[in-house]
Structure 1
């Protein structure tokens, strides 16, 4: 390669975003050898066509990918490289979750492993089902990354009293709440918001435990599960949205429809669009496109009250319906622009709210 097409290591470092020392390390490891080394001075020179590889090395190292894996990714076909990157990121996320869990344990026992304050004792399968139900209404970490005070939307709000323990979650488009009667009376009332990922990671062990004691400890709650290892869930200290005020201000139900859960879910699955319209009348419930560009699906339903058309994003309505308990769901509607309450027709301890979208969504 002509010398005029080569650049010294300092210039190449600026172009690639790597330091000169890092370039020497990657050269010595065989990952990014220079295009030419002066035999007398030992100066290293790189070609312009090496900038892309050097930049890729830097980016892969920024996500903590080991050197050997970096080489494998760079030499792989595009599809395989993407799979390897996803696999690595999943591993990093798993390690981070494990570290958070260990940190919660460490913080809870600092100063001695003192008994926690019992806030509820519940049958494991019952608690696991309730956690599964409300977690569908939590926000993703990605969705809350850019807004102040939104990290709390990834959590589950716990309100423990002497008569019941209530779990609530919301991403501001959905709200799900479930109340359970404890198997053992709580020692004291307690309110806090618990990290949703920590609860999600503990669900399998909760489900296989006959009885789970929920104890309040510094910085979180501790789940005691008999012969299984205790699990700790961190507290989120941001203020949880005032869901009780929202529930109290919903307004009067003007339309009520009871429909088979499986049939409604199937209609939502078969609908091709991102937004659906429910046309509710005395004839039943029709699942259509907002602009009627696709044939609708008619479902038998028991309907009382006014005829109504209401639109939802499928990703909002589907999870709300899927978590309902039993074969039928009851839709309580208050107008085309008001939240709909989705309840199990035969179980009143699980309530889910879903926000509709404006008609302008379809234009």
Structure 2
């Protein structure tokens, strides 16, 4: 190789961002051997063509990627290398979440401050309620509280609430024991999902509040801790109290409504409520709709939704029939069971609807 294409280790270190000692280590490990080694002096020389590999190696190590994984990425094509990177990042994120959880558990025991007993709920009932309400959470930059589930205990009930701004779900449960304290906190949604399997298998779960967290205590188990989100939860009660008067009401079979939405093409659906029927059609009016038998009262109305908003709101409803309370084409619709009112969901329409 011509000498003008070679550079000593110090110059290559500056070009690649690696230290000379790191380059010696990577040479000995076979990840980045020098292009030439002077047989007399032992000086190492690198080629300009090796700068890209050296730079990539440095970046991979900055991600805390193990040497074996680095070697696999460097020898792989672009698609496989991307997969390996995604795999490594997922592991790092998972490990970080586990560390956060363990640190929160340790913090909850510092100072030996006793937890605050709140109430007790049947495990299967609590797990089902949490799953229903968590469908309304969202990961949104700048609004971390939207990824959490609000738990409130009063002297009469336990209330779970979540919202992604386009949908709000709230579920009330009768406790297995009278609540001891009035309390409210927004629980980390991901951590709550991780403990659902254990909660579901426990006949009774006791809720205990601690600083910055909540314990779910189960018989013959250590218990599971979830962190509280410090950010303020949206004032959903104000939104519920400010809802307008219901102008149209319809009761329709849940399974038929879901099937009609699923069979419509596109990302948006329109509901036409009139003449003892609910017609589900594509919001663009380019495809024929499906008319479902329903009990309908009030004035006729056409209202449009994003499928990703309306479908989960209907699918989590309790019972075979859903009750739709509508207030106009641009107002939230209330969706709940036709015979049980302990789960209520609000769904925001999109602006392409109009009164019939």
Fold shared by both chains (TM-score > 0.5): yes
Q: 1:61 matched to which residue of 2?
A: 61
User: For residues 13 and 295 of structure 1, what CA distance do their matches in structure 2 show?
Assistant: 67
SS in 1 for 2:341: strand
In 2: Cα distance, 1:254 partner to 1:48 partner: 72
Contact 1:6 1:48 in 2 (8 A): no
Aligned pair partner of 2:193 in 182, 200, 205: 200
Q: Which runs of 5+ in 1 are unaligned?
A: none
Cα distance change of structure 1 residues 83 and 254 upon mapping to structure 2, 3 Å threshold: same
- The answer to whether the Cα contact below 8 Å between 2:10 and 2:20 also exists between their aligned partners in 1 is yes
**TM-score when normalising by structure 1:** 0.88
Matching residue of 1:219: 212
The whole-number CA distance in structure 2 between the counterparts of 1:293 and 1:287 is 13
Change (3 A) 1:225 1:15: same
Corresponding residue of 1:28: 28
- Contact 1:35/1:47 (<8 A) preserved: no
Deviations 1:113-134 (A, max 9, x none): x542111100000010111111
Query: What is the rounded CA distance, in whole Å, between the counterparts of 2:133 and 2:36 in structure 1?
Result: 61
Q: Which of 344, 349, 352 lines up with 1:356 in the alignment?
A: 349
Sort the Cα spacing of 1:2 and 1:337 in 2 relative to 1 into closer, same or farther, 3 A: farther
Which of 134, 158, 161 pairs up with 2:151?
158
Unmatched runs of 5 consecutive residues or more in structure 2: none
Q: Which has the larger radius of gyration?
A: 2
C-alpha distance in 2, partners of 1:275/1:297?
14
User: How does 1:1-363 map onto structure 2 within 5 Å?
Assistant: 1-6=1-6, 16=16, 18-39=18-39, 40=41, 42-48=43-49, 50-51=51-52, 53-112=53-112, 114-140=113-139, 143-144=140-141, 147=142, 150-282=143-275, 284-359=277-352
Q: Distance in 2 between matches of 1:8 and 1:243?
A: 66
Q: How many residues align?
A: 352
**Equivalent pair of 1:9/1:46 in contact (CA under 8 Å):** no
TM-aligned CA deviation for residue 160 of structure 1: 0.6
TM-score by length of 2: 0.89
SS of alignment partner, residue 228 of structure 2: strand
- Residues 276, 297 of structure 2: 8 Å contact kept: no
CA distance in 1, matches of 2:90, 2:329: 41
Structure 2 counterpart SS, 1:321:
helix
- Say whether the 8 Å CA contact 2:8–2:43 is kept in structure 1: no
Q: Equivalent residue of 2:195, what SS?
A: helix
Q: Could you give the per-residue CA deviations for residues 327-362 of structure 1, whole angstroms, max 9, x where no partner exists?
A: 2222211111111111122221001111122229xx
Note the aligned Cα RMSD (angstroms). Answer: 2.4
